[in-house]
Amino acid sequence: MKILCVLSRFAYGRSERGENYDYVHFVPTLERLGHEISFFDSGDRSLHADFAALNVALLERVVTFQPDVIFCVLMHYEIWFDTLDLIRANSPALIVNWGTDDSWKFAQASRFFAGHVDLHVTTDRSADENARSWGIDNVMLSQWAASETDLGIPRPSAQCGYDVSFVGSMYGYRATWIESLRRAGVSVACFGHRTENGVVDSARIPEIFRASRISLNFSGAGQNPDSTKGGGRQIKARTFEVPGAGGFLLTEVAPGLERYFIPNAEIATFSSPQELVARARYFLEHTDERDTIARAGHARTRNDHTYEKRFAAILVRLLEIGAKRKSQAWTLSPDALTRAVSRHRRNGALAWLRTLTSGPLVMAFGRKRGPRAARRLLYELSWRICGATTYRASGVPGRLFYHES
């Protein structure tokens, strides 16, 4: 099949943050499955003048490439519903969206996305259940996984160079809990945004997992990172990457985790900073038990939890849903977005709103963080008050805050 991947190459669209997880794992997996792939970067704001130019460019790519499937990772309002609806009405191309952070994002975004794609894939069981209760019938429950190219045989604890490692962005409570380990005398090496070692190349990450006696994973979501207050915990991609790469996973508990691994047999878990310290000390001392669990977790991941298996199932489900669209003719034209582009760029009367929302926040947070905070505030108000309109060409946050989005 011809598959157009629409997602961000870099984390948050910024090259200094390193390559985006979706780009690193999803695109190569679809290529290995034998599909012809074209990539469209929907995250880098330097590539287009505004969201109107981005959506026109996407439509032009769709017309030129004529994909069978468009595989999206929609973040918020970067790809308009106007654009998605035009594609579905004027082509046989099927659109699937991989939902990220649906433990909190389903209510504010993904439930709207689902009405404008052929299949919405979620990794959150509660989102899947809520979708069915709301009458949304095109949501599929899947899960994060490991890439087959990153699989590696676990090393014995004695051959590892790090006692404990953490790879990821340092936000929320993560730094505090890691510091509790260090105060207890446990050596922790951290890699990623806002850590002492900084962002590392994606190709190096599996080797860090294999070289660590213990690899940490936290389950708090970026939107609601303080899991100590209850809720917000979710299964992360690291849950599968670490054992897949041959590492020993010590992960914060998350709802549904036991569906994928047997705790204390294939992975180890913790739920508080005190338990984190105790579990880390235990497995650093009980190396034979650590090695046994690492081998079992790796075997489980290799057998059941690879992206090749996940995506093959998703594409089968998508084709079943879209069987009626096979005969749809290609009548799609970028000119069909002309009216939407005009609405999006008609911002004269809205200029005051950007000034009104940004001004006080610039004074409080500075010229760089202030506009981002204003965008966040306006977005939070918009999806609550305007609902799906937020994600259309006429949506106010996207019209006023392109570079901050």
Buried b (16+ CB within 10 A) or exposed e, 14-33: eeeebbbbbbbbbbebbeee
If one compares 171 and 181, the residue with the highest pLDDT of the two is 181
Residue 401: what pLDDT?
A: 95
Q: How many CB atoms lie within 10 A of CB 329?
A: 8
- Structure confidence by residue, pLDDT tens digits, 60-101: 999 999 999 999 999 999 999 999 999 999 999 999 999 999
If one compares 39 and 348, the residue with the highest pLDDT of the two is 39
- Distance between CA 30 and CA 118 in Å, rounded? 18
- Distance between CA 155 and CA 209 in Å, rounded? 10
Given the structure tokens 């093959």, which residue do they identify?
312
Residue 183: what pLDDT?
A: 97
- φ/ψ of residue 233, rounded to 5: -75, 140
- Structure confidence by residue, pLDDT tens digits, 323-365: 878 788 999 999 999 999 999 999 877 888 888 888 888 888 8
Counting residues of the chain whose pLDDT is more than 90, the rounded percentage is 84
Tokens of 12: 């948050």
In order of their start, the domains of the chain are 2-145+307-344 (3.40.50.2300), 148-299 (3.40.50.2000), 346-400 (no CATH)
- Going by pLDDT thresholds of 50, 70 and 90, the confidence category of residue 277 is very high
Residue 229: what pLDDT?
A: 47
- Going by pLDDT thresholds of 50, 70 and 90, the confidence category of residue 222 is low
- Distance between CA 85 and CA 394 in Å, rounded? 15
- φ/ψ of residue 236, rounded to 5: -105, 165
- Candidates 175, 265, 161, 157; CA nearest to 216 is 175
DSSP codes joined into one string, 192-224? STTSTT----GGGHHHHHHTEEEEEE--B-SSS
Tokens of 263: 């705790």
- Structure confidence by residue, pLDDT tens digits, 134-154: 999 999 999 999 999 999 999
Query: Is residue 227 over pLDDT 50?
Result: no
In this prediction, residues 230-234 reach a mean pLDDT of 69
- φ/ψ of residue 74, rounded to 5: -80, 125
Query: Is residue 223 over pLDDT 70?
Result: no
195-204: long-range contacts, CB 8 A cutoff, minimum separation 24: 195/166, 195/170, 199/16, 199/17, 199/18, 200/18, 200/167, 201/18, 202/18, 202/19, 202/24
If one compares 223 and 184, the residue with the highest pLDDT of the two is 184
Tell how far CA 230 is from the center of its chain.
22
Residue 363: what pLDDT?
A: 86
- Distance between CA 343 and CA 80 in Å, rounded? 12
- Structure confidence by residue, pLDDT tens digits, 372-405: 999 999 999 999 999 999 999 999 999 999 999 9
Residue 367: what pLDDT?
A: 86
